[in-house]
């Protein structure tokens, strides 16, 4: 069988599932359906097709350490993680992966998958990819069209022509329809949901992109040629990539090429584009309720609840309730798409909940801001075994560190201290300091900050293991 290189697109911000999914920790990194995150589940779904081929990942530069860690947890070893310095939609993102693959194997077949979709029947998905492989190997650009079971107005559609091959010729792509039109599409049997998944040779995609969107190919090629390697990452040139037009693969290539074919797919697919759609793909009780966490529901129907603390619901129907450490969302299922308006309002108010969780992940571990007030902030800090924070100082704050568990190696000015459980130290304002976990267990500590300004941008880094400025 022709070798397939999986290309996992992980650049989305996922704000339609706010407050659980946020710009700095979007839905592909969350275990929304099952025990694994959506990124991990995407790799596990395609791994049987990849064989010895290692995946290519295209990710937001801000998410690079999250991507690397989550893939490592499930045994994936990417060929490289291609870092987008700015979002430019799917056509440029896929072009980067195609250039990387074509460098060593021009006729390599790429299976391009967004990393935040759900596929409930992975065997049917694998069968569809295998059935579409001859068309892709021959030079066709295959898009996977999902067999519609309901008149969904939230998806674009693909009208298929007739043919004898498994992959059918594409007649046209159609924007999201109104309900009456969607009902007609489903009844006709000629239309499929546009899944945003593709299968094609790297050289053929680059050829068609150059024919129909040469400005994108030119800018992306320059960004790729000027890229620099950094451990597991390939950092695209910022200025060149930013010069690329922002466009989707559908608009830039698929709607214009005469090489497009559609492979029907009936595998329980969903792009999980809203809380209502997440309820549909989640296990439900006899009353249509899908609940995650500690939920008490009395006389409720068709509800979705997700939270860390106890959620009690009485007499609710068609309602979404989502609770996180710093935000609560409550809305009717038929209006829950308006969560995007909530995020827009939060950004207009410059509130951190628009983009950040209270718990923030770093390459060395994480910190959770558990309390704050005038001139003070309290954080719970977790440092992975063997990990080291940057050598740094602050202009406006002092810090007290109290070890809860594990062992801490503390650099404080010219001194190096070794602290264990219940021991503490004080870092005066302006003193250079560093924290390291020399042990084999996670280091947990409480940090109490005090000072006139406690923002995260009051950090002057002198050395950093992770290449941060």
pLDDT tens per residue across span 217-275: 999 999 999 999 987 899 999 999 999 999 999 999 999 999 999 999 999 999 999 99
* Separation of alpha carbons 80 and 54, rounded Å: 9
Q: Are 431 and 413 in contact (CB under 8 A)?
A: yes
Q: How many residues does the chain have?
A: 469
Which position has the token pair 């995946």?
A: 55
Closest among 187, 200, 203, 196 to 148, alpha carbons compared: 187
DSSP 337: G
Print the SS3 string covering 417-445: EEECCCCEEEECCCCCEEEECCCCCCEEE
State how far the alpha carbon of 188 is from the alpha carbons of 7, 107, 156, 343, in Å: 33, 36, 16, 38
Q: Left if phi > 0, otherwise alpha if psi is -120 to 50, otherwise beta: which for 422?
A: left
Residue 13 is predicted with a pLDDT of 77
Distance of CA 265 to the CA centre of its chain: 23
Per DSSP, the three-state class of 109 is strand
Residue 368 is predicted with a pLDDT of 96
Residue 14 is predicted with a pLDDT of 74
* Separation of alpha carbons 77 and 310, rounded Å: 38
Residue 468 is predicted with a pLDDT of 72
State how far the alpha carbon of 187 is from the alpha carbons of 24, 147, 195, 398, in Å: 41, 11, 19, 67
- The enclosing H or E element of 359 equals strand 359-362
* Separation of alpha carbons 371 and 379, rounded Å: 7
Question: 332-358: string of b/e by CB count within 10 Å (b at 16+)?
Answer: ebeebbebeebbeebeeeeeebbbbbe
Closest among 134, 273, 151, 152 to 199, alpha carbons compared: 134
How many degrees, rounded to 5, is the angle at CA 323 between CA 317 and CA 324?
165
DSSP 326: S
How many degrees, rounded to 5, is the angle at CA 145 between CA 98 and CA 11?
45
What is the Cα gyration radius of the chain?
24
Q: Are 410 and 420 in contact (CB under 8 A)?
A: no
* Separation of alpha carbons 449 and 429, rounded Å: 10
pTM across the whole model: 0.92
Q: Where are the alpha helices (DSSP H) in 197-284?
A: 202-212, 214-225, 238-242, 249, 275-280
DSSP 250: I
CA diameter of the chain:
76
Q: Are 111 and 144 in contact (CB under 8 A)?
A: no
Residue 297 is predicted with a pLDDT of 97
Domains of the chain: 4-270 (3.90.550.10), 275-344 (no CATH), 359-463 (2.60.120.10)
Task: Give yes or no for a cis peptide into 422 (omega within 30° of 0).
Answer: no
How many degrees, rounded to 5, is the angle at CA 159 between CA 154 and CA 160?
140
Residue 336 is predicted with a pLDDT of 94
Residue 164 is predicted with a pLDDT of 86
Residue 1 is predicted with a pLDDT of 57
Q: Which residues pair with 119 in a beta bridge?
A: 269
Q: Which residues pair with 285 in a beta bridge?
A: none
Where the chain has pLDDT below 70, the residues are: 1, 469
Distance of CA 134 to the CA centre of its chain: 30
* Separation of alpha carbons 427 and 434, rounded Å: 10
Which position has the token pair 């597991």?
A: 232
* Separation of alpha carbons 431 and 35, rounded Å: 43
Phi, psi values for residue 456, rounded to 5°: -70, -15
> Which positions ≥6 away from 366 have C-beta within 8 Å?
359, 360, 381, 382
């Amino acid at each position: 069988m022709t070798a397939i290189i999986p290309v996992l697109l992980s650049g989305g911000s996922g704000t339609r599932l706010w407050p659980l999914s946020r710009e700095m920790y979007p839905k592909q990194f969350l275990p929304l359906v099952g025990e694994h995150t959506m990124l991990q589940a995407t790799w596990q779904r395609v791994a049987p097709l990849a064989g010895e081929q290692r995946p290519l990942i295209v990710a937001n530069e801000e998410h690079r350490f999250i991507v690397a860690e989550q893939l490592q947890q499930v045994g994936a070893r990417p060929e490289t993680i291609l870092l987008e310095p700015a979002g430019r939609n799917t056509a440029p993102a896929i072009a980067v992966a195609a250039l990387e693959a074509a460098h060593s194997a021009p006729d390599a077949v790429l299976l391009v998958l967004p990393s935040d979709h759900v596929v409930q029947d992975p065997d049917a998905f694998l069968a569809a990819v295998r059935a579409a492989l001859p068309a892709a190997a021959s030079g066709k650009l295959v898009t996977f069209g999902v067999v519609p079971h309901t008149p969904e107005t939230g998806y674009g559609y693909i009208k298929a022509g007739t043919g004898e091959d498994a992959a059918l010729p594409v007649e046209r792509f159609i924007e999201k329809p109104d309900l009456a039109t969607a009902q007609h599409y489903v009844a006709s049997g000629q239309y499929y949901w546009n899944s945003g998944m593709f299968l094609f040779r790297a050289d053929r995609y680059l050829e068609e992109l150059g024919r129909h969107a040469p400005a994108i190919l030119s800018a992306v090629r320059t960004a790729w040629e000027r890229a620099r390697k950094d451990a597991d990452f390939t950092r695209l040139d910022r200025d060149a990539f930013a010069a690329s037009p922002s466009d989707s693969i559908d608009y830039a290539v698929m709607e214009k090429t005469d090489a497009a074919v559609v492979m029907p797919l009936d595998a329980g697919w969903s792009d999980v584009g809203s809380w209502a759609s997440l309820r549909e793909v989640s296990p439900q009780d006899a009353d249509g309720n899908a609940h995650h966490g500690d939920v008490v529901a009395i006389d409720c129907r068709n509800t979705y609840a997700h939270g860390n603390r106890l959620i009690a619901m009485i007499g609710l129907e068609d309602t979404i309730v989502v609770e996180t450490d710093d935000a609560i969302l409550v809305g009717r299922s038929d209006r829950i798409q308006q969560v995007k308006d909530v995020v827009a309002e939060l950004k207009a108010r410059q509130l951190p909940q628009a983009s950040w969780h209270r718990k923030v992940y770093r390459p060395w571990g994480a910190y959770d801001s558990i309390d704050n007030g005038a001139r003070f902030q309290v954080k719970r800090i977790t440092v992975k075994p063997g990990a080291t924070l940057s050598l740094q100082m602050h202009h406006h704050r002092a810090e007290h560190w109290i070890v809860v568990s594990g062992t801490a190696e503390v650099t404080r000015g010219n001194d190096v201290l070794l602290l264990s459980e219940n021991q503490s130290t004080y870092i005066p304002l302006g003193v250079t300091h560093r924290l390291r976990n020399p042990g084999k267990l996670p280091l947990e500590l409480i940090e109490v900050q005090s000072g006139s300004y406690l923002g995260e941008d009051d950090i002057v880094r002198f050395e950093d293991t992770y290449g941060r400025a």
